[in-house]
Structure 1
Amino acid sequence: MHPDFNPGDPFALFRQFWQAATPPGAQPFLPPMTEEDLDRKLAELKVVEDWLTMNLGMLHLQVRTLEMQKAARAALKPKE
């Protein structure tokens, strides 16, 4: 077992993995960003979020429309 192993810390394995995979002094995920870069990235992500929300709404609308068509066909179907 690794000497730093602590069974009470569920994230110890992940921390060890990232420490081994990342060279000393490097940041594994994001480079340092200026405030302008952060604002631009946030604006871009909000646009994507809005686009995805709109598409999700359109998908819900299409599902509901098809469900209503199915129910209408079932209601108008002659009884045998």
Structure 2
Amino acid sequence: AEGVIQEPLHPYTRALIAAVPVPDPTYKREPVEIKGDVSAPIDPPSYCRFLPRCPIGDATCKGLPHPSLKEVRAGHFVACHKL
């Protein structure tokens, strides 16, 4: 879990970690904006649900089924075709 916090890989995780407030008024960090539309939860797509908002996703991702979790580092799993 520490690796996910220290080195987030998935674009959503990166944005989520960047949104955590830091209790230091002198610390400056650029916000990570997640653009795009959220997939319909009642009728989710067969491909990655984050694709419409993903900064690294492309047509290849749309042609593949929803990604399964894969271990990219010891104990660090990610569900992404691009990582």
TM-score by length of 2: 0.19
TM-score using structure 1 length: 0.20
Greater RCO (CA < 8 Å, at least 6 residues apart): 2
Between Structure 1 and Structure 2, the one with more helix by share is 1
